[in-house]
């Protein structure tokens, strides 16, 4: 391409310049060397290329293509050849043809300051239609179109560019009608532009066409947003299938929109990954299940056992909403990891085994991990939240009306529940020792609140500890809940802080041996101690008193294997007071008889004896 030049016009205005056109413009960061294909254009040596999307923005500008290192063109290479407001026209390319870009950087210095170009295309439309349906119905108007023509649709303000005879848009898809994309929207594809009609009519084909176009853009390395801003119905399953790597830029924007499924069985909407996908973000996903579908929304992160590994990394769901789900409202399976769900509203209408509002599945071929859930509400199903992955973490939110526990973290290896509200678990399923939260193996339950109006949920949390143990603290009870903790024997410890034995159910002797009630928050301080003293382990872990007479310690009551007890006893000013211990105490340290001195004993309860593990006399 001949390098003609057209510089600035200082006698007209100092901030205007028009450069000779370029053969194509970049759509992403490139290597500035070698002959390559850019935006569908195979470059030859000497072709002018607008480079506008470099990671290092100082590299942006106009270059000559070369088999070796590229060089800047002379008309955009120095201080006297560029000003803010410089225009460059693009002649070719799938996305760039017939577009104009304006240099927006103030006081640009080529090679020194960051250089930015903005799209300033002015479009003249060849034809205008009232609706997308009108455009699709026009079978004769296409005869007058040539590649590069623009067509406008009033309803929705959609604009299309003709690429080939009988085809509109800038990406290909399998839609029955030749409509492909809203090319003037800056990377936003609206499903209505593909022929989706709001209301109860079946728009599955048009929505699927939009999804295919969205995926094609993302897999081509382009940031792209799919937009759903009205209510649409679909009667056949929708599939978002990733088969080529995607790194960021994938946005699902459903603010103000809703998808209503009439899919009879199977999965209504599936996101399927058979490659490596990072940074998929969904804003305000809102789907009504059909009432008969098996899974309303499914995220499948692929297999970790293939080479190269398949995965879905950094999935972000902002305010997802799924209603009228008969079986599973939302399911995450496969190799999904380091992802977050914010303020979900997920409802399963069933209360039966195998149904869930939110199901996080660890299958045999994947390694899902680090799924965090913040706030929101999940309701119904066997469990409102059922997780078999290693480290699901719940921060706040309300979980209610499940057939069994509202939250069940199975085989946890570091996950837990914090500050959640669990209500009316075991809906329609009466029984005893039934909790709102259940966790097995290793993790934590902290600062959670339980309420039961249905009379079936009597405890806040039920815990089975694996080798690393489970920590429980700060549980609170409200109406209908009589216990904070149900402790069941396992291979590790259950460590309860701020939970009294009297507020707990210990399943059996084995559970007693692995459950430790740490620092119940009760300290008994007494101005004087004399005679026989019987300590209640539900009342304190620490007893601190002054001996004003001889003291006898009887066997403590309400002790459980694993309990610890600290006794601090001070002689009064007279001194010489003595201590007698019940046979259940095994004591090594003698009570110092010196006036005003202190002696302390720390005991561990084996279930049969209180064994002194440390003592200090004469303090």
Any domain includes 253: no
**In angstroms, what CA-CA distances link 565 with 279, 355, 446, 521, 556?**
52, 46, 24, 12, 10
User: How confident is the model over 5-33, as pLDDT tens digits?
Assistant: 344 434 334 444 788 899 999 999 999 99
pLDDT reported for residue 141: 60
Distance in angstroms (rounded) separating the CA atoms of residues 256 and 86: 39
The arithmetic mean of pLDDT across residues 262-282, rounded, is 97
Any domain includes 110: yes
Any domain includes 213: no
The arithmetic mean of pLDDT across residues 502-513, rounded, is 82
pLDDT reported for residue 128: 73
Cβ–Cβ < 8 Å for 117, 104: yes
Q: Which of residues 62, 86, 119 is at a domain's end?
A: 119
Q: Which of residues 499, 518, 537 is at a domain's end?
A: 518
549 and 600 within one domain? yes
* Most confident segment among 85-89, 103-107, 402-406: 402-406
Strands 61-64 and 585-586: unpaired
pLDDT reported for residue 143: 57
Tokens 């920590």 locate to 471
Where is pLDDT greater, at 87 or 611? 611
Distance in angstroms (rounded) separating the CA atoms of residues 408 and 358: 11
Distance in angstroms (rounded) separating the CA atoms of residues 398 and 384: 10
User: How confident is the model over 576-594, as pLDDT tens digits?
Assistant: 999 999 999 999 999 999 9
473 and 535 within one domain? no
pLDDT reported for residue 519: 56
Cβ–Cβ < 8 Å for 446, 473: yes
User: How confident is the model over 32-41, as pLDDT tens digits?
Assistant: 999 999 999 9
Question: Other CB atoms closer than 10 Å to residue 223's CB: what's the count?
Answer: 15
Any domain includes 567: yes
508 and 482 within one domain? yes
pLDDT exceeds cutoff 60 at 334: yes
Any domain includes 108: yes
User: How confident is the model over 125-160, as pLDDT tens digits?
Assistant: 667 777 766 766 666 665 566 666 667 777 766 666
Any domain includes 227: no
Distance in angstroms (rounded) separating the CA atoms of residues 59 and 76: 12
- DSSP for 18-53, written as a single string: EPPPBSEE-SS---SBS--EETTEE--TT-EEEE--
Q: Which of residues 502, 518, 534 is at a domain's end?
A: 518
Q: Which two tokens stand for residue 139?
A: 């079978």
The arithmetic mean of pLDDT across residues 53-63, rounded, is 94
450 and 407 within one domain? yes
611 and 500 within one domain? no
- DSSP for 175-187, written as a single string: -SSS----TTSSS
486 and 398 within one domain? yes
pLDDT reported for residue 2: 40
Tokens 């297999």 locate to 303
Cβ–Cβ < 8 Å for 313, 334: no
Pick the closest to residue 389 from 375, 402, 373 (CA basis).
373
pLDDT exceeds cutoff 90 at 237: yes
pLDDT reported for residue 152: 72
* Residue 180 pLDDT level (bands cut at 50, 70, 90): very low
430 and 537 within one domain? no
Tokens 């872990």 locate to 541
Where is pLDDT greater, at 509 or 21? 21
**For 248, left (φ over 0), alpha (ψ -120 to 50), or beta?**
left
455 and 561 within one domain? no
Cβ–Cβ < 8 Å for 298, 270: yes
DSSP code of 12? T
CA max distance for the chain: 115
pLDDT reported for residue 556: 93
Residues paired with residue 267 on neighbouring β-strands, in sequence order: 295
For 201-352, strand residue ranges (E) read: 224-227, 231-234, 238-242, 246-253, 258-261, 267-273, 276-283, 286-288, 295-300, 311-313, 316-318, 321-325, 328-333, 336-342, 345-348
509 and 570 within one domain? no
pLDDT reported for residue 606: 87
The total of structural domains in the chain comes to 3
Alpha helices in 567-610 (DSSP H): none
Strand, coil or helix: 214: helix
The arithmetic mean of pLDDT across residues 359-364, rounded, is 89
Quote the domain boundaries for residue 578: 523-617
Any domain includes 194: no
Long-range contacts for 71-76 (Cβ within 8 Å, ≥24 apart)?
Answer: 72/110, 72/111, 73/3, 73/48, 74/3, 74/5, 75/3, 75/5, 75/6, 75/7, 75/19, 75/20, 76/19, 76/110
The arithmetic mean of pLDDT across residues 340-346, rounded, is 98
pTM exceeds 0.85? no
Alpha helices in 53-175 (DSSP H): 132-137
pLDDT reported for residue 165: 45
512 and 397 within one domain? yes
Lowest-pLDDT choice from 190-204, 329-343, 576-590: 190-204
pLDDT exceeds cutoff 60 at 405: yes
The arithmetic mean of pLDDT across residues 180-199, rounded, is 69
**In angstroms, what CA-CA distances link 296 with 86, 265, 486?**
51, 10, 34
pLDDT reported for residue 126: 64
Q: How many helices (H) and strands (E) does the chain have?
A: 3, 53
DSSP code of 447? S
Tokens 């007893």 locate to 543
Any domain includes 256: no
537 and 475 within one domain? no
562 and 477 within one domain? no
The arithmetic mean of pLDDT across residues 411-438, rounded, is 94
Angle (CA) 525 515 477, round 5°: 75
* Most confident segment among 71-80, 454-463, 512-521: 454-463
User: How confident is the model over 522-579, as pLDDT tens digits?
Assistant: 677 888 999 999 998 877 788 999 999 999 999 999 887 778 889 999 999 999 999 9
Pick the closest to residue 386 from 365, 364, 405, 401 (CA basis).
405
pLDDT exceeds cutoff 80 at 438: yes
Lowest-pLDDT choice from 95-99, 173-177, 435-439: 173-177
pLDDT reported for residue 414: 85
pLDDT reported for residue 499: 86
Cβ–Cβ < 8 Å for 443, 409: yes
- Start-to-end CA distance of the chain, whole Å, equals 95
């Amino acid at each position: 391409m001949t390098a003609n030049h057209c510089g600035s016009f200082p006698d007209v205005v100092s901030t205007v310049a028009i450069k000779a056109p370029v053969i194509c413009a970049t759509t992403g960061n490139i290597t500035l060397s070698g002959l390559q294909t850019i935006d569908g254009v195979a470059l030859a040596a000497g072709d002018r290329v607008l480079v506008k999307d470099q990671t290092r923005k100082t590299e942006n500008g106009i270059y000559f293509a070369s088999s070796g290192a590229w060089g800047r063109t002379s008309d955009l290479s120095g201080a006297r050849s560029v000003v803010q407001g410089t225009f460059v026209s693009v002649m070719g390319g799938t996305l760039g043809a017939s577009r104009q870009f304006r240099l927006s950087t103030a006081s640009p210095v080529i090679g020194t300051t960051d250089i930015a170009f903005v799209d300033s295309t002015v479009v003249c439309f060849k034809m205008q239609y009232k609706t997308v349906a009108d455009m699709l119905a026009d079978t004769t108007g296409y005869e007058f179109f040539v590649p590069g023509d623009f067509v406008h649709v009033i309803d929705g303000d959609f604009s299309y560019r003709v690429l080939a005879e009988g085809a509109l848009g800038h990406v290909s898809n399998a839609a029955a009608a030749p409509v492909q994309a809203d090319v003037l929207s800056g990377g936003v594809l609206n499903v209505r532009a593909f022929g989706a009609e709001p209301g109860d009519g079946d728009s599955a084909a048009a929505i699927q066409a939009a999804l295919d176009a969205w995926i094609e853009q993302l897999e081509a390395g382009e940031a792209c947003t799919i937009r759903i801003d009205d209510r649409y119905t679909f009667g056949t399953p929708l599939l978002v299938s990733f088969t080529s790597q995607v790194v960021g830029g994938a946005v699902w924007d459903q603010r103000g929109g809703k998808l209503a499924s009439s899919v009879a069985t199977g999965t209504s909407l599936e996101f399927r990954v058979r490659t490596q996908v990072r940074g998929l973000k969904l804003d305000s996903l809102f789907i009504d299940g059909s009432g008969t579908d098996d899974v309303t929304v499914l995220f499948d992160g692929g297999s970790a056992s293939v080479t190269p590994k398949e995965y879905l990394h950094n999935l972000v769901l902002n305010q997802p909403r799924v209603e009228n789900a008969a079986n599973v409202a939302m399911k995450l399976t496969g190799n999904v990891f380091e992802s977050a769900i914010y303020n979900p509203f997920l409802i399963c209408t069933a209360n039966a085994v195998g149904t869930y509002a939110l199901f996080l599945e660890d299958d045999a071929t994947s390694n899902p991990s680090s799924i965090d859930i913040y706030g929101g509400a999940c309701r119904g199903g066997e469990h409102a939240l059922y997780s078999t992955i290693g480290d699901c973490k719940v921060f706040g939110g309300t979980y209610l009306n499940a057939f069994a526990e509202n939250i069940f973290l199975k085989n946890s290896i570091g996950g837990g529940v914090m500050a959640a509200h669990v209500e009316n678990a075991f809906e329609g399923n009466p029984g005893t020792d039934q909790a709102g939260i259940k966790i097995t193996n290793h993790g934590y339950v902290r600062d959670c609140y339980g309420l039961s109006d249905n009379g079936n949920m009597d405890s806040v949390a039920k815990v089975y500890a694996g080798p690393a143990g489970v920590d429980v603290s700060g549980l609170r009870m409200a109406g209908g809940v009589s216990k904070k903790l149900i402790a069941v024997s396992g291979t590790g410890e259950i460590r309860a802080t701020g939970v009294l034995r009297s507020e707990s159910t210990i399943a059996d002797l084995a559970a007693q041996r692995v459950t430790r009630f740490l620092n119940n928050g009760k300290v008994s301080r007494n101005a004087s101690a004399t005679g026989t003293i019987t300590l209640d382990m539900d009342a304190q872990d620490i007893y601190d008193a002054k001996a004003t007479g001889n003291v006898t310690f009887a066997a403590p009551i309400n002790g459980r294997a694993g309990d610890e007890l600290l006794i601090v006893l001070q002689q009064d000013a007279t001194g010489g007071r003595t201590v007698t211990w019940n046979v259940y105490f095994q004591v090594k340290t003698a009570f110092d008889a010196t006036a005003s001195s202190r002696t302390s004993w720390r005991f561990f309860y084996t279930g049969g004896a209180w064994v002194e593990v440390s003592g200090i006399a004469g303090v």
